Amino acid sequence: MREHPALRLHVPEPTGRPGCATDFSFLQISGAGTVRKPPVDTSHFETADLAYALIGVLDRDGQAVGPWAPQIDGTQLRRGLRAMMKTRIFDARMTIAQRQRKTSFYMQCLGEEAIAVAQGMALAKGDMHFPTYRQQGLLLSRDDVSMVELICQLMSNEADPMKGRQLPVMYSFKRADFFSISGNLATQYPQAVGWAMASAIKGDTRIASAWIGDGATAESDFHTALTFAHVYRAPVILNVVNNQWAISSFQAIAGGESTTFAARGVGCGIASLRVDGNDFLAVYAASQWAAERARSNQGPTLIEWVTYRAGAHSTSDDPSKYRPADDWERFPLGDPIERLKAHLIVLGIWSEQEHGQVHKELEAEVAAAQKEAEGHGSLLDGHIPSAATIFEDVYETMPEHLRRQRQELGV
Amino acid sequence: MLTEVKNPAVETAETTSKPMTMIQALRSALDVVMARDPDVVVFGQDVGYFGGVFRVTEGLQAKYGKTRCFDAPISEGGIVGVAVGMGAYGLRPVAEIQFADYFYPASDQLVSEAARLRYRSAGDFTCPITVRMPCGGGIYGGQTHSQSPEALFTHVSGLRTVLPSNPYDAKGLLIAAIECNDPVIFLEPKRLYNGPFDGHHDRPVVPWSKHALGMVPEGYYRVPLESAAVFRPGSQLTVLTYGTMTWVAECAARETGIDAEIIDLRSIWPLDLDTIVASVKKTGRCVIVHEATKTSGFGAELSALVQEHCFYQLEAPIERVTGWDTPYPHAQEWAYFPGPDRVGAAFQRAMEKS
The 10s digit of each residue's pLDDT in B256-277 is: 999 999 999 999 999 999 999 9
Looking at the complex, does the CB of residue A399 fall below 8 Å from at least one CB of chain B? Answer: yes
The beta strand positions in A13-164, using DSSP E, are 128-130
Q: Is B199 helix (H, G, I), strand (E, B) or coil?
A: coil
Asked if B226's CB is within 8 angstroms of A401's CB, the reply is no
Alpha-carbon dihedral angle through residues B214, B218, B220, B223, given to the nearest 10 degrees: 0
CA B284 and chain centroid, separation: 26
Q: CB-based contact (8 Å) between A197 and chain B?
A: yes
Is the pLDDT at B2 greater than 50? The verdict is: no
User: Quick one: CA torsion of A153, A134, A84, A356, rounded to 10 degrees?
Assistant: 70
Contact B213, B231 (CB under 8 A): no
| Nearest-neighbour CA in chain A from B65: distance (Å) | 11
Region for residue A223 given its phi and psi (left: phi exceeds 0; alpha: psi -120 to 50; beta: otherwise): alpha
- CB contacts, 8 Å: A189 with chain B: 81
Please check whether residue B248 is in contact with residue B343, taking contact to mean a CB–CB distance below 8 angstroms: yes
How high is the pLDDT of residue A315?
Answer: 96
Task: Give, for A265, the enclosing helix (H) or strand (E).
Answer: helix A262-267
Q: Stretch A141-152: mean pLDDT, rounded?
A: 95
Q: Is the pLDDT of residue B3 over 60?
A: no
DSSP β-bridge partners for residue A303: A239, A273
Span B64-89, pLDDT tens digits? 999 999 999 999 999 999 999 999 99
Among the partner residues B77, B86, B121, nearest to A195 by beta-carbon distance: B86
Asked if A174 is an interface residue toward chain B (Cβ–Cβ < 8 A), one would say yes
What average pLDDT does range B100-117 have in this prediction?
Answer: 98
Residue type, A158: E
Determine whether the interchain pair B270/A393 forms a contact, defined as Cβ–Cβ distance below 8 Å.
Answer: no
pLDDT at B205: 87
- Within 10 angstroms of residue B183's Cβ, the number of other Cβ atoms is 29
Asked if the model's pLDDT at residue A22 lies above 70, the reply is yes
Compute the distance between CA of residue A367 and CA of residue A363 in angstroms, rounded to an integer: 6
In total, the C-beta contacts within 8 angstroms joining chain A to chain B are: 143
Query: Quick one: which H or E segment has residue A259?
Result: none
CA A287/CA A118 separation, integer angstroms:
8
Euclidean distance between CA atoms B20 and B218, whole angstroms: 9
What confidence tens digit (pLDDT) does each residue in B36-73 have? 999 999 999 999 999 999 999 999 999 999 999 999 99
* Residues of chain B that touch chain A, judged by Cβ-Cβ distance less than 8 Å: 41, 67-68, 72-73, 75, 77-78, 81-91, 93, 105, 108-109, 112-113, 116-126, 157-158, 160, 180-182, 226, 270, 273
Count, residues in chain A: 411
CB contact under 8 A, A395 and B91: no
Q: Find the range with the poorest average confidence among A364-368, B332-336, B349-353.
A: B349-353
The values of phi and psi at residue A304, to 5°, are -90, 120
Cross-chain residue pair B85–A202, CB shorter than 8 Å = no
| Residues of A in Cβ contact (< 8 Å) with B91 | 198, 201-202
* C-alpha to C-alpha distances, B250 to A63, A140, A255, B231, B237, nearest whole angstrom: 82, 63, 57, 8, 12
All residues at 6 or more sequence positions from A258 whose CB lies less than 8 Å from its CB, including other chains: none
Other beta carbons within 10 angstroms of residue A367's beta carbon come to: 12
Q: Is A224 on the interface with B (CB under 8 A)?
A: yes
- Read off the pLDDT band of B5 (50, 70, 90): very low
Residue of A nearest to B122 (CA): A162
User: By the 8 A CB rule, do A301 and A237 touch?
Assistant: yes
Residue of A nearest to B67 (CA): A201
Average pLDDT value for residue range A222-236? 98
Percent of chain A scored above 70 by pLDDT? 100
Nearest CA in chain A to B75: A224
Q: What is the pLDDT of residue A6?
A: 96
CB contact under 8 A, B109 and A190: yes
Give yes or no for residue B240 having a pLDDT over 70. Answer: yes
pLDDT in tens, A33-55: 999 999 999 999 999 999 999 99
The answer to whether A42 faces chain B, any CB pair under 8 Å, is: no
- Whether residues B73 and A228 touch (CB distance < 8 A) is answered with yes
Catalytic residue numbers of B read 145
Cα A77 versus chain centre, distance: 19
The residues pairing with B289 across neighbouring beta strands, listed in sequence order, are B321
Q: How far is A362 from chain B (nearest CA, A)?
A: 28
Please say whether the beta carbons of B322 and B294 come within 8 A: yes
The 10 Å CB-count burial string (b at 16+, else e) for A104-140 is bbbbbbbbbbbbbbbbbbbbeeebbbbbbbbbbbbbb
ipTM: 0.97
* Residue A378 pLDDT level (bands cut at 50, 70, 90): confident
What is chain B's mean pLDDT, rounded? Answer: 95
As a whole-number percent, the residues of chain B with pLDDT over 90 amount to: 95
Nearest to A393 among B81, B86, B122 (CB): B122
* Spatial contact of B216 and B20, defined as CB atoms under 8 Å apart: yes
Nearest-Cα distance to chain A for B120, in Å, is 6
The pLDDT tens digits of the residues spanning B303-326 come to 999 999 999 999 999 999 999 999
Structural contact between residues A305 and A275, judged by C-beta atoms closer than 8 angstroms: yes
Band (pLDDT 50/70/90 cuts) for residue B11 is low
pLDDT at B4: 39
DSSP tag of B13: -
Rg, Å, chain B Cα set: 19
> Cα–chain-centroid distance for residue B73?
26
Biggest CA-to-CA distance, chain A: 78
C-beta atoms of A172 and B125 within 8 A: yes
> Within the 295-354 window of chain A, which residues sit less than 8 Å (CB to CB) from chain B?
none
Query: pLDDT class for B13, splitting at 50, 70, 90?
Result: low
Q: Give contacts of A200 with chain B, Cβ < 8 Å.
A: 67
Mutate to test the interface with A, among B119, B157, B276, B302 (most CBs of A within 10 A): B119
Q: Give, rounded to a whole angstrom, the gap between the first and last alpha carbons of chain A.
A: 77
DSSP assigned state of B113? I
C-alpha to C-alpha distance for B284 and B313, rounded to whole angstroms: 5
B89, A194: Cβ pair inside 8 Å?
A: yes
Beta strand pairing status for B221-222 and B184-189? unpaired
DSSP B260-328: EEEEE-SEEES--HHHHHHHHHHHS-EEEEEEEESTTSHHHHHHHHHHHHHGGG--SPPEEEEE-SSPP
Closest Cβ–Cβ partner in B90, B120, B270 for A165: B120
Do A173 and A144 touch, CB atoms closer than 8 A? yes
pLDDT of residue A143: 87
Q: If pLDDT is split at 50, 70 and 90, which confidence band does A156 have?
A: very high
Q: Can you spell out the DSSP letters for A166-222?
A: S-TT---BGGGTBPPP-SSTTTHHHHHHHHHHHHHHTT----EEEEEETGGGGSHHH
